[in-house]
A and B are shown apart, each in its own frame.
Chain A
Amino acid sequence: MAHALREKAAVSGIGETAYTRGTQKSGLALQLEASLKAIEDAGLKPADIDGVVPYFPGGGIAEDFIANLGLPDLALSLFVPMGGATCVAAIQSAAMAVATGVAKNVLISVGRTGYSGARVSTRLQQFPQFALAAEFEAPIGMFAPAQLYAQGARRHMELYGTTARHFAEVAVTTRQHAILNGNVVMNKPLTVEEHHASRMISDPFRLFDCSLESDGGAAIIISAADRAKDLKKPLVTIMGVAEGHPESPASIAQRPDLLDFGLTKAAKRGYDMAGVGPKDIDVAEIYDCFTFTVLRQLEILGFCKTGEGGPFVMDGRIGLGGALPINTHGGLLSQGHVVGLNHVIELTRQLRREAGKAQVKDAEVGLVTGYGDMGDGSLAILRRAA
């Protein structure tokens, strides 16, 4: 029997600001600007929004949305504190709300001044879920995500022979896609040699293995599928969606398998709900806080076996025209860091066939992941149902 939530909800609206390094706008203003665009894109009015899931910790709370958008009757206000896994996990909560009638149109939004405000990489100790890292690891010199995730990447290299060349392939391919998009922070081509020559941040991560610290806002609207079909844009339904939490969720160091993420659990449930598998996916937007994180998620998602993520990304497989085009917008590595909500927006565009020069031909089913907070994971599988 099909899962009760399968295709009961849809991504009805998408909106994003310019992605930049440098802005005069606040995180809240960026969030609201993107939200207004998403509402317009859906063919809705602000008064139609009755649920909000702002990014936590971010630029806004429910009160801000009521005050700025004049929301007359907000029925649902949620935070989903899962770091980079937040945005896709929030789709699960929003889908449950619209499928049950608790809310009609739920707005999920992010606004970030990751470049012009407090730098993203230095914020670790302000998050309660990072208290253990702050007590046990920051004093010995480990506190930025680039450092904490580097040890897992190193282990993968030692166990499976994964190399910097594999990492570079992700960075270079993602950059090629960014250039096609246009609304990106990094708009010049990147070569493998330039990747290898970039300065070491935390071995094995070089500068071009790391996602951007950038400014920008993004928003999407989740509506019940039977309502969204009457809205402005081609219907994109949520076939499957799930979040997952790893063992030892607040400490990578103590996790029995460093390379096991919450996505391991989420992927199984997400695929089961959707009723599809890896071979059915036409395009994938994979959370790319680091190049290595993409390789490992491709393994966890079943596109290849554990240890084969490096060879898998080579030979054009993940580029446009390849067997599995990924991060067709430029991702966090080259477009901008809005905690992966830009990945959901891009997947929706692909399935609407609005992706311009980066369009994957005849894209019908796509997958998007989130990853963050030391290994929380989430995924959504979307379908063109128009």
Chain B
Amino acid sequence: MSTAPAPQPERPMSTPTRESQPYWDGMREGKLMLQHCAACGKVRHYPRPVCPHCFSMESEFKAAPLTGTLHTWTVCHHPFNFFFKAQAPYIVALVDMEGGVRINAPLRGVEASQLKIGQPVKLQFEPVTKDVTLPYFAVA
């Protein structure tokens, strides 16, 4: 009989692209770096090569505020990926960030029954590998 422990389920991990790399670099530094059009100034997320407003291909990433308000949420009970089995049930909040985009991330330290649309929350950062830091929210 083998006594080797069962292998840990692998966490789905982000693979940054040429477009999104600055966003992920920002996460690692505890910043929310959002892509802005260098020509018309409009923010866009998720990162992509062309501004859909003025079609400029020039862009810059700027640090945005970490605050936002709750747009909606779900509570994940069924672990579709076994990595998340130990964490379930967990809340995933979709948040209207002050910087003009939405961020989807776990919301910790609060019961789902307490949640209301418009509630203020604050973005936090959790390093999960050497390269990848993931966002989560706490009640502001």
| B110-140 near A? 1/0 per residue, CB < 8 Å | 0010001100000000001000101110000
Give the distance in Å from the alpha carbon of A132 to the alpha carbon of B13 in the complex.
Answer: 12
Binding site for A on B (CB under 8 A): 11-17, 20, 45-46, 71-78, 80-81, 84, 87, 89-90, 92, 94, 101-106, 112, 116-117, 128, 132, 134-136
Known: A132-B46, A136-B104, A253-B104. A141 touches B76 (CB 8 A): yes
Q: CB within 8 Å of B: which of A26-77?
A: none
B90 neighbours in A (Cβ, 8 Å): 141
Taking a contact as CB atoms under 8 Å apart, the answer to whether B77 and A199 are in contact is: yes
- Asked whether A116 is an interface residue with its Cβ less than 8 Å from the other chain, the reply is no
Taking a contact as CB atoms under 8 Å apart, the answer to whether B74 and A154 are in contact is: yes
Give the distance in Å from the alpha carbon of A117 to the alpha carbon of B78 in the complex.
Answer: 20
- Measured CB to CB, the closest approach of chain B to A352, in angstroms, equals 40
- Measured CB to CB, the closest approach of chain B to A104, in angstroms, equals 41
Give the distance in Å from the alpha carbon of A159 to the alpha carbon of B15 in the complex.
Answer: 35
Supply 12 A–B pairs (Cβ within 8 Å), ascending by A. A121-B80, A135-B14, A138-B12, A139-B13, A140-B104, A144-B78, A155-B72, A158-B117, A200-B77, A202-B78, A251-B46, A258-B71
> Which A residue's beta carbon lies closest to that of B80?
A144
Segment among A78-86, A145-153, A374-382 that sits at the interface with chain B: A145-153
A144 neighbours in B (Cβ, 8 Å): 78, 80
- Measured CB to CB, the closest approach of chain B to A306, in angstroms, equals 16
Known: A159-B117, A253-B104. A139 touches B76 (CB 8 A): no
Give the distance in Å from the alpha carbon of A228 to the alpha carbon of B76 in the complex.
Answer: 49
- Measured CB to CB, the closest approach of chain B to A134, in angstroms, equals 7
For the complex with contacts A135-B15, A143-B81, 16 further pairs of A-B residues with Cβ separation under 8 Å are: A125-B12, A132-B46, A135-B17, A136-B46, A137-B104, A140-B105, A141-B87, A141-B90, A142-B76, A147-B80, A151-B94, A155-B71, A200-B78, A203-B112, A253-B94, A254-B46
A-B contact count (CB 8 A): 105
Give the distance in Å from the alpha carbon of A141 to the alpha carbon of B76 in the complex.
Answer: 8
- Measured CB to CB, the closest approach of chain B to A198, in angstroms, equals 11
Taking a contact as CB atoms under 8 Å apart, the answer to whether B72 and A151 are in contact is: yes
> Which B residue's beta carbon lies closest to that of A250?
B46
- Measured CB to CB, the closest approach of chain B to A195, in angstroms, equals 16
Q: CB within 8 Å of B: which of A332-365?
A: none
A147 neighbours in B (Cβ, 8 Å): 74, 76, 80, 92
Give the distance in Å from the alpha carbon of A242 to the alpha carbon of B104 in the complex.
Answer: 31
B15 neighbours in A (Cβ, 8 Å): 134-135
- Measured CB to CB, the closest approach of chain B to A128, in angstroms, equals 13
- Measured CB to CB, the closest approach of chain A to B104, in angstroms, equals 5
- Measured CB to CB, the closest approach of chain A to B10, in angstroms, equals 11
- Asked whether A122 is an interface residue with its Cβ less than 8 Å from the other chain, the reply is yes
B136 neighbours in A (Cβ, 8 Å): 140
Taking a contact as CB atoms under 8 Å apart, the answer to whether A135 and B46 are in contact is: yes
Q: Is the interface of A mostly helix, strand, loop or mixed?
A: helix
Taking a contact as CB atoms under 8 Å apart, the answer to whether A203 and B75 are in contact is: yes
Binding site for B on A (CB under 8 A): 121-122, 125, 132, 134-144, 146-147, 150-152, 154-155, 158-159, 199-204, 251, 253-254, 258
Give the distance in Å from the alpha carbon of A189 to the alpha carbon of B3 in the complex.
Answer: 46
Give the distance in Å from the alpha carbon of A142 to the alpha carbon of B75 in the complex.
Answer: 10
B72 neighbours in A (Cβ, 8 Å): 151-152, 154-155, 158, 258
> Which A residue's beta carbon lies closest to that of B135?
A140
Give the distance in Å from the alpha carbon of A254 to the alpha carbon of B103 in the complex.
Answer: 8
Give the distance in Å from the alpha carbon of A31 to the alpha carbon of B43 in the complex.
Answer: 45
Known: A147-B76, A151-B94, A154-B73. A139 touches B132 (CB 8 A): yes
> Which A residue's beta carbon lies closest to that of B84?
A141
Give the distance in Å from the alpha carbon of A288 to the alpha carbon of B16 in the complex.
Answer: 34
Give the distance in Å from the alpha carbon of A139 to the alpha carbon of B46 in the complex.
Answer: 15
> Which B residue's beta carbon lies closest to that of A125?
B12
- Measured CB to CB, the closest approach of chain B to A207, in angstroms, equals 8
Give the distance in Å from the alpha carbon of A78 to the alpha carbon of B90 in the complex.
Answer: 41
Give the distance in Å from the alpha carbon of A199 to the alpha carbon of B14 in the complex.
Answer: 30
Known: A151-B72, A258-B72. A140 touches B11 (CB 8 A): no
A154 neighbours in B (Cβ, 8 Å): 72-74
B102 neighbours in A (Cβ, 8 Å): 253-254
Q: When the two chains form the complex, which single residue of A139, A146, A202, A203 contacts B12, counting CB atoms closer than 8 Å?
A: A139
